[in-house]
Amino acid sequence: MRPRVLIIGASLAGLRSAEAVLAALPEAQVTLVGDEAHVPYNRPPLSKEALTALVAGDAALEKLALRHRLAEGAVDWRLGVRAVATDAQARTVRLSDGAVQGYDWLIVASGLRPRRMALPHAEGRHVLRTWEDAVGLASALRPGARMAVVGAGFIGCEVAATAMKLGLSASVIEPQAQPMLAALGPEVAAAMAAFHRANGVDLRCGLTVTGAEAGALILSDGRRLEGDVIVEAVGSVPNVDWLAGAGLDLSNGVLCDATLTARGSDRILAVGDVARFPNALFDATPRRVEHWSIPGLTARRAAETIAARVAGAEPAARFAPLPGFWSDQHGLRLQSFGAPALGDEIRVLDGDLARLGDTPCLIEYRRAGKMVAVLGLGAAPAALAQHRVRLERELNETVAA
């Protein structure tokens, strides 16, 4: 009998899962469910190039469409509907249109949604996750307008940089001591703070938002921050509500083992940024990884697991994907391989953190004396690639030892 593989989530992770399953199991019956009506598209440009193009009236969702290798008719597409409940014992998922979809294998690729501030006066406040979010935000971006961004993670910093490019002023409120602190560490985050300020951003760290009024935010220092456009970039929430009652650990995404099988069900797997899994390159601690490279890597692993078990076997025990991310802010490209957040010290391999934007910079992150990541700030791809090779070699030697 053809194995039925149901994939919930039709963004990058879901699309790559469908490709990987059919590559490993050509006979599989694959259904791909997505709550957006659009075909899968690329999200990272929404805070940068796509937002700029929307303001200029030169944007189309088709330009963001993800390329794929799915033959016509190979997948049963169910777009514009979402999963609302799961019966793990019956192996069914109920959808928002009332349909009940059965499965032999369920791949959770439902991703994240923006966290919202629990404050009144929600009108005029934007988030940025979907194409519709970008369209709504773009309509409010006018030269001379004042933007207030809450949260100085990657999305918040990218949106602020884009706003400055479009002729707005931008203020960013961040509760931590520096922007992107958890991802980059204190030294690099401090350098990025100085870089944003040098580019005109009013960056206010160590503050929270305690209230909101129409067109303004009230800050923890008692000041009132005016904003014609307010953007909430205060993190994300895993879309796992529909899995309640399935017997899984949903405390932070879907807890999985190294095969990406959910703890609590041998027929449910998770991929992408909703999956919390151990990575043999670093340690045995399960983590969610919200990096662009992870959807494809976890999709292949989940397909490998399903194909092996359909054949009555088990996949290879070791799963050691190398994370990677990139960001563009004020014309500066940040690109990393590995896990900078795990580092306890940095080494500047090239350049000067005090001169970001003027000179390329290469940073090595180490934990307990061992290399765990490399970060390029305006660095040439060839230079970064050399250190990536060294990073992979050192990480794999550590695993082998």
The residue whose two tokens read 């953007």 is 231
Give me the mean pLDDT over the 34-62 stretch.
93
Confidence of residue 272 (pLDDT cuts 50, 70, 90): very high
Alpha helices in 256-350 (DSSP H): 294-310
On whether residue 32 sits in a domain, the answer given is yes
For the chain, give the mean pLDDT.
Answer: 95
Round to whole Å and give the CA distance between 164 and 170: 6
User: ∠ CA(111), CA(8), CA(86), 5° rounding?
Assistant: 105
Query: In this structure, what DSSP letter does residue 195 have?
Result: H
> Per the confidence metrics, is the pTM higher than 0.85?
yes
Q: What is the pLDDT of residue 213?
A: 84
**pLDDT (tens digit, 9 = 90+) per residue, 131-165?**
999 999 999 999 999 999 999 999 999 999 999 99
Q: Which residue has the higher pLDDT, 161 or 357?
A: 161
pLDDT computed for residue 120 by the predictor:
79
In the chain, the number of structural domains is 3
Would 315 be classed as within a structural domain? Answer: no
* pLDDT (average), residues 275-294: 95
Instruction: Give pLDDT tens digits for 315-350.
Output: 999 999 999 999 999 999 999 999 999 999 999 999
CB-based contacts of 112, cutoff 8 Å, min separation 6: 129, 236, 237, 238, 239, 273, 274, 290
| Residue 11 shares a structural domain with residue 84 | yes
Look at residues 279, 310, 341 and tell me which one is the last residue of a structural domain.
310
Tokens 């350098």 belong to 191
**Distance separating alpha carbons of residues 142 and 225, to the nearest angstrom:** 18
Cβ neighbours of residue 56 closer than 8 Å, sequence gap 6 or more? none
The two three-digit tokens of residue 394, written as one number: 């050192």
Read off the pLDDT band of 294 (50, 70, 90): very high
Same domain, 140 and 248: no
Domain membership of residue 276 (yes or no) is: yes
299 contacts 359 by C-beta, under 8 angstroms: no
Strands 275-279 and 112-114 turn out to be unpaired
Pair (300, 359) in one structural domain: no
In the sheet with 229-232, reading across from the earlier edge strand, the strands are 125-126, 229-232, 146-150, 169-174, 202-205
CATH number of the domain to which 298 belongs: 3.50.50.60
Evaluate if residue 175 carries a pLDDT over 70: yes
Whether residues 223 and 149 share a domain: the answer is yes
List 35's β-bridge partners, or say none. none
Question: Which band of pLDDT confidence, cut at 50, 70 and 90, is reported for residue 17?
Answer: very high
Task: Examine residue 295 and state whether it is found in any structural domain, yes or no.
Answer: yes
Looking at residue 399, its pLDDT comes to 72
Residue 400, pLDDT score: 58
Mark whether 108 and 246 lie in a shared domain: yes
Last residue of a domain, one of 275, 310, 345: 310
Is the residue at 296 inside a domain? yes
Based on the domain organization, do 297 and 338 belong to the same domain? Answer: no
Task: Read off the DSSP letter of residue 50.
Answer: H
Model pLDDT, residue 401 = 58
Domain range for 393 is 331-400
- Positive or negative torsion for Cα 341, 346, 348, 349: negative
Look at residue 317 and tell me if it is in a domain. no
Q: Find the mean pLDDT for residues 103-120.
A: 95
Is the per-residue pLDDT at 121 higher than 90? no
**Residue with more model confidence, 398 or 12:** 12
Q: What is the pLDDT of residue 1?
A: 77
The residue out of 201, 234, 267 marking a domain boundary is 234
Yes or no: say if 243 and 254 are a contact pair by the CB < 8 Å rule: yes
Phi, psi of 297 (to 5 degrees): -65, -40
pLDDT band at 119 (very low <50, low <70, confident <90, very high): confident
Looking at the fold, whether 184 and 98 belong to one and the same domain comes out as no
Integer Cα distance of 104 and 338 in angstroms? 34
Q: What is the pLDDT of residue 397?
A: 85
Question: What is the rounded average pLDDT of the residues 378-400?
Answer: 90
Query: 106 and 35 in one domain?
Result: yes
Whether 198 is covered by a domain: the verdict is: yes
Same domain, 128 and 221: yes
> Is 92 in the same domain as 37?
yes
Confidence of residue 239 (pLDDT cuts 50, 70, 90): very high
Q: Are residues 108 and 127 in the same domain?
A: no
How far are the Cα atoms of 44, 67, 152, 274, 381 from residue 377, in angstroms, in the given order?
18, 28, 18, 28, 10
Give the integer Cα–Cα distance in Å for 197 and 69.
44
CATH assignment of the domain containing 352 = 3.30.390.30
Q: Is residue 177 part of a domain?
A: yes
What band does 122 get if pLDDT is binned at 50, 70 and 90? low
Q: How confident is the model at residue 248 (pLDDT cuts 50, 70, 90)?
A: very high
Q: Looking at the structure, do residues 203 and 93 belong to the same domain, yes or no? A: no
